[in-house]
Amino acid sequence: MDQEFILRKIAEVMNWDDASATTEFARIRLMSRIKYDGYQDFLAGARFAERLLDWLQQFPPNRRDAAYGFIRDRLVYISAAEMDHLVELFFFENVVPRLVRAVADSRRVPSYAIWGDEDAKREFRKLLRKSLFIELSDGARIGTFRRANAGWIDNEQVVTAPRINEDKWGELLEDLRESVGDENARFEFIFLMDDFTASGTSLLRKPEKAWKGKLFRFRKDVSNVLATHFADPVTIHVHHYLATEQARDSIDARNAQITDELKDDWFSSVEFSYGHVLVDGAIDLVTDAEFIEIVDEHYDTSIDKKFKRHIEQSGVDTMKYGYGGCRLPIILDHNAPNNSFPILWAESPGGDGGPPMRALFRRRQRHT
């Protein structure tokens, strides 16, 4: 669709004068070209400008300035290039320093000293081969990680699914032992990778009596191979490319709790790292009061029924402010996190529960 036509329609909807329209057209073109047109759910002929026009029209005229201002000034959009950059940084900023530290500790030398010692360098390469890289979700960009580090890691070290059956574990161990020339070799580092955590509950949570979450599920999945395939002790390193401050603190607290409760039935060493931590990421109820009013007014409570299970496990009574009440203004290039305001990503026909809702960045439901 002709973008100039769409921009003129946006100006009509927003009731901009010529000067305002000129300024805002330039901003919309820039936002579209640099970032938002890359959202993976957008189609040709229905990209950001078209979706913005449709999204703005659902609000009464007196609310549109606040809605548009929120998108222009407060929305945090993580583009594919930005996320790929975080993926590419992971190996050299987190993996290499961790393995170097392990080698240095074993040899009782400073970390910098191993690069001048051929035996130490060989030990590092062997330890690197004894490391396994596993995605925790389809957002982990494991293919990007593997391509970025070709020559450093083997394809047999990278697992493109979080659930690994017994036969696959056998193949991974066989490949490891053949590669290092040691029939008794076992994995010493397991790196679990994911894209984003906002509340930490998808990784670890205890809604009632039983623990749940991706990390707990992984512990259950490897229970049969823990003694045969993993070194004692093995280090489990969980890395998220992007996280909120709230998630980081919650994950640390929950890991301490599960370690205390399960003891020998939990991993002996679990570490966490993050490519970038969003500090003060939540929208403030006072500072952004006008937008919060739109959120309160323009919410269809039937969405709560659709996300009943998420509401129960998050500890809040509505999804209006996002999962767990996180109040996030965040959109990832491949999906909208459910911790962000549903007014950005939810669609509903409306009815007794509230007005119909149109999504600006429509969300694709993923597993939890």
pLDDT digits (tens, 9 = 90+) for 16-62: 999 999 999 999 999 999 999 999 988 767 899 999 999 999 999 99
20 versus 209: which is more confidently predicted? 20
Mean pLDDT (whole number) for 97-110: 96
Buried-exposed string 7-29: b where 16+ CB fall within 10 A, e elsewhere: bebbbebbebeeeebeebbeebe
* pLDDT tens digits along 303-349: 998 888 778 777 788 999 999 899 999 999 999 999 999 999 999 99
Token pair for 174: 């066989």
Are 310 and 96 spatial neighbours (Cβ–Cβ below 8 Å)? no
Amino acid of residue 312: E
Mean pLDDT (whole number) for 106-124: 95
pTM value?
0.92
**Reduced to 3 states, what is the DSSP secondary structure of residue 255?**
helix
Bridge partner residues of 348 (DSSP): 357
Nearest to 198 by CA among 304, 343, 90, 76: 76
* pLDDT tens digits along 174-192: 999 999 999 999 999 999 9
Mean pLDDT (whole number) for 277-298: 93
Q: Over 70: is that where the pLDDT of 366 sits?
A: no
* pLDDT tens digits along 126-169: 999 999 999 999 889 999 999 999 999 999 999 988 789 999 99
Q: Percent of the chain having pLDDT more than 90?
A: 87
Q: Over 60: is that where the pLDDT of 108 sits?
A: yes
Are 3 and 29 spatial neighbours (Cβ–Cβ below 8 Å)? yes
pLDDT of res. 161: 82
Cα separation, 340 vs 345, in Å, equals: 8
91 versus 315: which is more confidently predicted? 91
pLDDT of res. 93: 97
Mean pLDDT (whole number) for 273-296: 93
pLDDT of res. 130: 98
131-135 β-sheet, strand order: 158-159, 131-135, 187-197, 230-244, 269-278
Q: How many helices (H) and strands (E) does the chain have?
A: 16, 7
* pLDDT tens digits along 73-84: 999 999 999 999
Domain ranges for the chain, please list them: 80-278
Q: For all residues of the chain together, what is the average pLDDT?
A: 93
